[in-house]
Amino acid sequence: MKNEKKGLGGTLGKVWSQYSFIFVLFIIMIGYAFTITSNGNTFKWSHIAAILSSQNTVIVGTIALGMAFVIITGQIDLSVGSQLVLCTGVTIIVFNTTNSILLMALAAILTGAACGAVNGLLVGFGKMPPFVVTLGTMLIYRSLTLSVVRKIDPAISGSSSSQFAMLSDNSKYEFLRMKFGTGKLALGGFSIPYITFVFLIMAILFIVISKKTKYGKTIYAVGSNEKSARLAGINVTWVKISVFILTGICVGVASMLQACKIGNVTPASSGVSYEMYAIASVVLAGVSMAGGKGNMVGVIFGALSYTTINFIIVSIPGLSVDIQDTFQGLVLIVVILIQTVGPVIKENLQRAQKRRQAAGKA
């Protein structure tokens, strides 16, 4: 009987340690449903659809995929919010001047990759701390974009109010904004936003890279033990540079989604704190900030969890906007505390059990 209990407990502990992000999302979703019903409303599919199409899920979630790779290697990228502003600005300019979806997409991805490469090269070859590098580029990317938008011809930027906006006169505007950016695919009695599928496709791609490729294994190896990775023949410098480039590509894809869903970007305010949101999504996904551990599947659930937390805060009646970030931070800390305390408790119980067994034998 003891062996059965031990086996069951061990199995539950293993499941929790590997898939805690699923339970966390489930608990948060129950909290959201309770909040909706306590306000006298009925929790419906439309509430879930709103989460699926939210900026925090689709745009921040896409960025979080790249951020997860960076964190798994034991690094950090604080510039992704500013990268998003810069990439979206370039993306919209290319669209306004060419009316080409293909060139728009290429501009988004190449600009993102270039921004990521700057971070990666400074960290990899310059041997500079990622925190310092990306803190610096966070300021540079946003200020450059803000400087350009204030000087560029409104016929190119699409707006005269210090923002980049897609020109509605372009023939492709209707498709990008109305059909794709805000459109939904009807599946039976449900509907799922098209941009959500882009996030899911990106997530599947990164899951495959992390689990099925040699490159994915090197990312975990570098994060687990950089010295051992070097001794094993892994080009650690290249791996560190590459994850920043991949993050930049994710930002580029996110900038396309930003342009299609919102239609504009304001350099002074858009993307602010997105780096924190992306990091929060990654942590909620169960990825270790120390590096070397993390399930990329969890990033999907982490993004959904963080978005749902936002929705819960907004749904609380009478809660001042000024205090919402406080509640958001408290909820986030509690959720992450649950994830981190679980393994610690398990380890302490195992130690106590070993001590009892040793005492019994003595």
Residue 15, pLDDT score? 65
**What count of other Cβ atoms lies within 10 Å of the Cβ of residue 343?**
13
Cα angle, residue 165 at apex, residues 324 and 170 outer, rounded to 5°: 140
Sign of the alpha-carbon dihedral angle for 215, 220, 222, 228: negative
- Closest alpha carbon to 296 in 67, 54, 48, 53: 67
Residue 74, pLDDT score? 93
Is the domain spanning 61-317+327-340 CATH 1.10.150? The answer is no
Answer whether 325's CB lies under 8 Å from 41's CB.
no
Sequence spans of domains, the chain: 61-317+327-340
Name residues whose C-beta falls within 8 Å of residue 117's C-beta, 6 or more positions apart in sequence: 241, 244, 245, 248
Residue 5, pLDDT score? 46
Residue 97, pLDDT score? 96
* Largest pairwise CA distance in the chain: 85
Size of the chain in residues: 362
Could you list the mean pLDDT of each consecutive 10-residue stretch along the chain, which spans 362 residues? Answer: 51 67 88 89 86 89 97 96 97 97 97 98 95 97 95 92 94 93 83 91 96 96 94 96 98 96 93 90 87 91 90 82 79 70 69 79 70
**What count of other Cβ atoms lies within 10 Å of the Cβ of residue 211?**
12
Distance CA 155, CA 166 (A): 10
Q: Calculate Rg over the CA atoms of the chain.
A: 22
Burial of 335 (0-12, 13-18, 19+ CB in 10 A): buried
Burial letters 129-150, b for 16+ CB under 10 A, else e? ebeebbbbbbeebbeebbebbe
Secondary element (H or E) of residue 165: strand 164-165
Residue 169, pLDDT score? 94
